[in-house]
Structure 1
Amino acid sequence: MRTNALAAGETLVLVAAASAAVCLIALVLAMLLGGAGYPQITPGLPDPGMLTRWGLPVAKTVMDVSAALTFGLIVLAVFLLPVARNGELGEQAQGYVRAASWAALVWAGAAAATLVFQLSDILGRPVAEIVGNEITSYASSVPQGIGLLLTILGALGAALIGRVVVTATGAALLSLLVLVGMLPPPLTGHASSAGSHEMAIVGLSLHVASVALWVGGLAALFFHAMRGSGEHVPTAVQRFSTMALWAWIGVALSGLASAASRLTSVASLFTTAYGQVMLAKVAVFVILGALGWVHRTRTVPQITEDSGRRLFLRFAGVEVVVMAAAMGLAAALSRTAPPPDLNRATDAFRNLTGFSMPPPMSLRTLLTEWRPDLFFILVIVVLGGLYAAGVIRLQRRGDSWPWGRTAAWFAGLLVLGIALLTGVGTYSYVLFSMHMVQHMVLSMLVPILLVLGAPATLALRALRPAKQRGDRGPREWLTAFLHGWYARLVTHPGFATPMFVISIYALYFTPLFGTLMQDHLGHVFMNVHFLLSGFLFYWIIIGVDPAPRKIPFLLRIVLLLVAMGFHAFFGVAIMMKSEPLGMEYYGQFEVPWRDSLADDQYAGGGVAWALGEIPTMLVLIALVVQWARDEERTERRRERHSQRGGSEDADLDAYNAYLASLHRRTSQQQGQPGPEQPEQEPQP
């Protein structure tokens, strides 16, 4: 066994060395191909020097690889290996979380080095000439520096938390922290200046998440399979095979989005250095897809606890090395200048939003001026696909699912697409009134339809329990979430109602609205907030999914009327406001066919005031129907209880039994006979 352990250790060292060498070679070749390795230096202009020129991509590569390893080790511990029955991680899983904390320290150090090299590159001065206050100013005031600072803080937080986490829930939250910590640097790079902000930003975010899951997960799984004491290898391999397929799809979609946002034409793939490096990444991606297909068709079906590991390790080792080449190409691509967009410099509105000013608004333009927002396209496709898959699974199993819930769910997704992807979404960037139409639809109409679709109930019925008792599959994770403290908090009326009502005042009557409107991530944040706050509010009002607490119907009606009253007053307050809102955004461009900002804002206030009536009537109707059905179910329970010998009021019987038990307990404490104890004759 010692010989096998030594052989496994030698193989790990060999694969690690080969991966590092291939990654470095790919980085160097791509830097030379893209012209970033030896750029033309104009005499008299500042030059950061050779150390920065090559140190920056190397540091970024180390940062990306260590971040992926951190994420992959935690994914292995939480989602690939079985969880103990009490919700705690096994001994090996806890070891992988501790290993992830060490990888996070490397990640933080590489991010700090990247910050220094990046500042040197921007200032055009060697690293040795950079002083401390310049680093502090860069990390606190420049978007690129702030992004790296957030990554450093996230990595250090992951390193500290990883030392103490022992539960599956805690490790899952840690994986979310790691994933969020990886996003700021790429979002403040090329994506923030690309011609199509939506495609570039969302595509790059999806790319980072998919690559981290794919590369980090496979590297961690390869290490686990190499260990002679590695447990549950077949289970981990089968689970990762499914994850890797989705990661491959995510990389493909994000690659298409990145190419569409950065390349001006198909010919740019062959005529520009940026396109040629991207083609090299595509070639590596195709090779990885072929290796993944071999895994799914050959190694995964054959692997068991005793056999099949060698075949898996052989292909996995090659795949890890190829992935290392892809990471090197990615770092070099980030240092290669994309083709310039000649239209950006002549259009202020395009510089701000990523697209040209639309024509005057009409019914035709509302139907034709579509905006391909990749984030919400993915949201609609994923939510619709998962819901349809759940309904189909129930039907194949012979179970029924109400057609009305299915219709409500897909109607909600349809309205969501109309509000975000058609001309309504396009003109929401231009007119405050159309922005308010979008806001009202997202917060007060779409959530009603989605809540009536009962997605949690469908998921609990369609998802299969985990094969091993005590383990956590998708169904167990959903159940744990619905019964956890977070669900109890966000579904409490004291939280959901103020979030639905007060947040709109905090958004529109503070500078926050103008700040968020200037960035695509701000638009995404607002739209997601409108959806989630509306979904939580209407979930406690008319929701049919299982919730941590049941709210009386009379209280639901009161909450609905109070919330609608505040919304109506919000619309009136906007109509009465003399100063235009969001001038930090709307004041940066002129709309030749628009009326005055004051008139448009007055129209937006009227929209906020008027559109609240229709959702209120729909919800009241749904509440009356639900209340009537609840009374019918209660009456049937009373009749069944009465037939078994009880009274007609089951609740009254339960209350009387409770009072009787309290009386018996008090009598026993005082030494007096209870109602069921006959009083004895006094002794002479």
Structure 2
Amino acid sequence: MTATRTPATVRPAADAAAGGRGAAVRLGGLALAGVVAVVLGVWFSRAALPTVLADPGALVRWGLPVTTTLTELAGSLTLGALVLAVGVLPLRSRAAGDARAPRAGRPEGPPPGPDDAPDGSPADRSRTAPTAYARNLTLAAVAAGTWTVLSVLGLVLRYASVSGRPLGSSTFGDELGVYVTQVDLGRTQLGIVVVAAVVTALALVVQTPTGAAWCAGLTVVALWQQAQGGHAAGATSHELATSSMFLHLVGAAVWIGALAALAVLAGRLGDDLRPSVERYSTVAGWCFVLVAVSGLVNALIRLGGLDGLGTRYGVLVLVKAALFVVLGLLGAAHRRAALPRLAADRPGPGAGWLFWRVVAVEIAVMGAVSGVAVALSSTAPPVPQEPPTSPTPAEIVTGHALPPEPTPLRWFTEWRWDLLFAVAAVAGIVVYVRWVRRLHRRGDTWPWQRTALWISGMVVFFWTTSGGPAMYGHVLFSAHMVQHMVLAMVVPLLLTLAAPVTLALRAVPGRPTTLRGDLSRGPREWLLTLVHSRFGTFLAHPLVAAVNFAGSMVLFYYSGIFEWALRNPVGHVAMVVHFSLAGYLFANALVGIDPGPSRPPYTQRILLLFATMAFHAFFGVALMSGEALLVADWFGLLGREWGPTALADQQRGGGIAWGIGELPTLVLAIAVIVAWSRSEERVAKRRDRVVDRDGDTEMDEYNAMLTRLADRDSPGR
């Protein structure tokens, strides 16, 4: 028998065709599992039974949950592929070697940037990037395009379901136009369609991790819009329900989408498969925790207790929880079994098949979880989600019942949980402590005082965003000012003195240069990119940081931004992030240890600090003497029967802005003076060492100069 050799020119095309068919099969399995699960879940929950009044038809009742499942899977694949491009997949194949590696007669230079070719010219993706990275961006674009089309279909079906209008109704088109332009739910869905279309266009042209990060950010915006709908929007604890749903969607989307994208790309990664899977495993671990915590909070809100588990909704929750536990076990087994074999086996199609064989069941279960989740969203929960029938003035304005009159004890016993910032605070403590332990394991030291400062800052941040300041800051201007001042001045000062950036650069594994050897960006590389970027350097400049810190306060309160932050959850999140970050940049410019700004001399720092202190005093006095109520249709219409009037409370808030603002400023001034003193001591010790080694040449030259002047001016000369 004569063996037939496949021509080298034919094999790549055959491999590409096989890879395309394999990718379609893998994604089809994910979609099929989701569709089967949602159909079974909707059938079990009876959510698709005909309605007595205004029935939109069987096509809408069954088509909406199926379309929603496919839409969420497409959005997950979009975000997952973009996350891989941001910090997982290499931009340059390891098999190709480092084009800038030192050769005989050529000194070693810095590694090329993401937009540099080996010769220093603009990058040609076909020469510098592996096929997997380019294919991953194409996959993200295709998934985003599918997400856009399915979102349009879902919008139409959603309106038909909400209005009870059959798709063939003569006035359906006109009514749909009113729905997407004048109804909040319709505008939200239209916003998702627009964002998905923009991501589709951008994903076709981006080529770097930075571009992929912008696309991923837009995708997260769409997920936030999605979290505003459904049962989360109508829940009694709607802020907690919305934030938990948002975290749930983001965690699940990254987990499912990134794994599906890796499964598609596995055969093309070659030597890069193992590091890519390792990096994804770390991301998946965080996603597992995020989905678990947010899912538990959502279940507690909607079930109302253990009795709710006996309902059809509760059974679906238990099924979803069981599938989630299976997912966790599969992920752990995948990490233990696949990674060692990927390291031992030769790279190539065999390694890709091994990876796909391990994750095939996991992807199918993920699709099933997505289907059950959509079935849950189509089923009425046991706890009624309607607003109160006889709302109080406070409930009409704020959406919450008026809290009891504040007392010193209630500032620490009353809570309104903000899951987003609570998770951020806990994650901040966990990551910081893990970094410190990593330093200790390798024999390095880290001052315990910095660890204590960081934990204290995170605890204060948690209390400020979920405790008394958050509870009363929604109904009292003075309490809101307490929250603002603590976020802008107390928390940043504690975190600045903890030097988190310095700790991260020492603890996170990586090269001392900006990029990894394969030009991908991990946490260390992204941190260095942000610190040394032009935008980051501009914001960290001491003068810019001071103007931002003081000027944004006036802009915030004397414009519509304050009202936006009170009425809109996005505005509230933006307020917390902005003032915390502005406070950190200002404190870091004055007394920080972290790299970044070019700090001025200590005399200029003191002048800048006292100028900011004077501005705070002026702002506080302006509020104390003002007679116009800020956001009068909010603070003036709450129906409070306790506490001072709204105007008197606002004037009290001005005193708080002045008083609380001055105390951290005084601490900052003391810190600057202490740092100045230590700097002078270091300079003096350095000079003493030079004098001991070389003699006091400066003093000798000075004395010689005085001698020459005295000789020149003596009478005898």
Aligned to 2:272: 232
Q: How far has the Cα of 1:621 moved from its partner?
A: 0.5
Aligned to 1:324: 367
User: What percentage of aligned pairs have identical amino acids?
Assistant: 39
Aligned to 1:24: 35
Give the Cα separation in 1 of the matches to 2:485 and 2:695.
53
Amino acid at match of 1:121: S
Aligned to 1:76: 84
Q: How far has the Cα of 1:284 moved from its partner?
A: 1.7
Query: Pick from 506, 509, 527: which aligns with 1:478?
Result: 527
- The answer to whether the 8 Å contact 2:620/2:657 transfers is yes
- The answer to whether the 8 Å contact 1:514/1:584 transfers is no
- State yes or no: 1:616 paired with 2:665: yes
Aligned to 2:468: 423
Give the Cα separation in 2 of the matches to 1:209 and 1:165.
22
- The answer to whether the 8 Å contact 1:197/1:261 transfers is no
Query: Pick from 331, 348, 360: which aligns with 1:292?
Result: 331
- The answer to whether the 8 Å contact 1:4/1:228 transfers is no
Aligned to 1:301: 340
Q: How far has the Cα of 1:251 moved from its partner?
A: 1.0
Aligned to 1:151: 192
Query: Pick from 241, 258, 261: which aligns with 1:217?
Result: 258
Deviations 1:318-358 (A, max 9, x none): 11111111222222222222230588334434566565432
Q: How far has the Cα of 1:206 moved from its partner?
A: 0.8
Segment drifting more, 640-649 vs 341-350: 640-649
1:656-671 matches, cutoff 5 A:
none
- The answer to whether the 8 Å contact 2:542/2:599 transfers is no
Aligned to 1:86: 112
Deviations 1:413-470 (A, max 9, x none): 2322332333333222222211111111111111111111111011111111157465
Aligned to 1:335: 378
The aligned length equals 644
1:73–1:421 CA distance, 2 compared to 1 (3 A): closer
Query: Pick from 435, 457, 461: which aligns with 2:502?
Result: 457
Query: Pick from 290, 293, 297: which aligns with 1:250?
Result: 290
- The answer to whether the 8 Å contact 2:35/2:69 transfers is no
Aligned to 2:100: none
Secondary structure, in 3 states, of the residue corresponding to 2:389? helix
- Where structure 1 has 5 or more consecutive residues not aligned to the other structure, the ranges are 650-684
Aligned to 1:270: 310
1:536-575 matches, cutoff 5 A:
536-575=585-624
1:584–1:51 CA distance, 2 compared to 1 (3 A): farther
1:440–1:12 CA distance, 2 compared to 1 (3 A): closer
- The answer to whether the 8 Å contact 1:48/1:126 transfers is yes
Aligned to 2:432: 387
Q: How far has the Cα of 1:557 moved from its partner?
A: 2.1
Deviations 1:566-621 (A, max 9, x none): 22222222222223222332344322223321221121111112212211110101
Give the Cα separation in 2 of the matches to 1:527 and 1:266.
35
Segment drifting more, 128-137 vs 163-172: 128-137
Give the Cα separation in 2 of the matches to 1:238 and 1:5.
25
Give the Cα separation in 2 of the matches to 1:218 and 1:457.
32
1:592–1:39 CA distance, 2 compared to 1 (3 A): farther
- State yes or no: 1:49 paired with 2:57: yes
Q: How far has the Cα of 1:493 moved from its partner?
A: 3.7
Give the Cα separation in 2 of the matches to 1:228 and 1:524.
40
Aligned to 1:656: none
- TM-score between the two structures when normalised by the length of structure 2: 0.83
1:263–1:347 CA distance, 2 compared to 1 (3 A): farther
Give the Cα separation in 1 of the matches to 2:77 and 2:696.
63
Aligned to 2:180: 139
- Higher relative contact order (Cα pairs below 8 Å, separated by 6+ residues): 2
Give the Cα separation in 2 of the matches to 1:263 and 1:415.
31
- State yes or no: 1:206 paired with 2:247: yes
- Where structure 2 has 5 or more consecutive residues not aligned to the other structure, the ranges are 1-5, 93-110, 115-127, 700-717
Secondary structure, in 3 states, of the residue corresponding to 1:183? helix
1:366-515 matches, cutoff 5 A:
366-465=411-510, 468=517, 470-515=519-564
Amino acid at match of 1:250: L
Segment drifting more, 487-496 vs 438-447: 487-496
- State yes or no: 1:108 paired with 2:148: yes
Give the Cα separation in 1 of the matches to 2:613 and 2:175.
51
- The answer to whether the 8 Å contact 2:136/2:265 transfers is no
Query: Pick from 388, 399, 402: which aligns with 1:344?
Result: 388
Q: How far has the Cα of 1:548 moved from its partner?
A: 4.1
Amino acid at match of 1:138: Y
Secondary structure, in 3 states, of the residue corresponding to 1:383? helix
Give the Cα separation in 1 of the matches to 2:627 and 2:562.
17
- State yes or no: 1:530 paired with 2:579: yes
Give the Cα separation in 1 of the matches to 2:191 and 2:680.
53
Segment drifting more, 364-373 vs 320-329: 364-373
Segment drifting more, 341-350 vs 516-525: 341-350
- The answer to whether the 8 Å contact 1:448/1:535 transfers is yes
Q: How far has the Cα of 1:390 moved from its partner?
A: 1.6
1:293–1:137 CA distance, 2 compared to 1 (3 A): same
- The answer to whether the 8 Å contact 2:589/2:597 transfers is no
- The answer to whether the 8 Å contact 1:112/1:152 transfers is yes
Q: How far has the Cα of 1:402 moved from its partner?
A: 2.4
Aligned to 1:628: 677
Aligned to 1:579: 628
Deviations 1:620-651 (A, max 9, x none): 011111222233344455566775799759xx
1:5–1:444 CA distance, 2 compared to 1 (3 A): closer
Secondary structure, in 3 states, of the residue corresponding to 2:409? helix
Query: Pick from 43, 48, 73: which aligns with 1:37?
Result: 48
Give the Cα separation in 2 of the matches to 1:644 and 1:327.
75
- TM-score between the two structures when normalised by the length of structure 1: 0.87
1:49–1:496 CA distance, 2 compared to 1 (3 A): farther
Give the Cα separation in 1 of the matches to 2:521 and 2:196.
27
Give the Cα separation in 2 of the matches to 1:578 and 1:376.
34
Amino acid at match of 1:175: A
1:618–1:228 CA distance, 2 compared to 1 (3 A): closer
Segment drifting more, 407-416 vs 213-222: 407-416
Give the Cα separation in 1 of the matches to 2:78 and 2:697.
62
Aligned to 2:566: 517
- The answer to whether the 8 Å contact 2:47/2:378 transfers is yes
Give the Cα separation in 2 of the matches to 1:245 and 1:462.
19
1:240–1:6 CA distance, 2 compared to 1 (3 A): same
Amino acid at match of 1:77: A
Give the Cα separation in 1 of the matches to 2:395 and 2:50.
30
Aligned to 1:124: 164
Give the Cα separation in 2 of the matches to 1:158 and 1:337.
33
- The answer to whether the 8 Å contact 2:542/2:597 transfers is no
Q: Calculate the aligned-residue CA RMSD, in Å.
A: 2.7
- The answer to whether the 8 Å contact 1:70/1:100 transfers is yes
Deviations 1:21-72 (A, max 9, x none): 3222211122222232114323xxx333333333332332222111111122
1:354-369 matches, cutoff 5 A:
355-369=400-414
Aligned to 1:668: none
Give the Cα separation in 2 of the matches to 1:106 and 1:142.
25
- The answer to whether the 8 Å contact 2:88/2:522 transfers is no
Q: How far has the Cα of 1:252 moved from its partner?
A: 0.6
Query: Pick from 205, 212, 217: which aligns with 1:176?
Result: 217
- The answer to whether the 8 Å contact 2:492/2:587 transfers is yes
- The answer to whether the 8 Å contact 1:194/1:200 transfers is yes
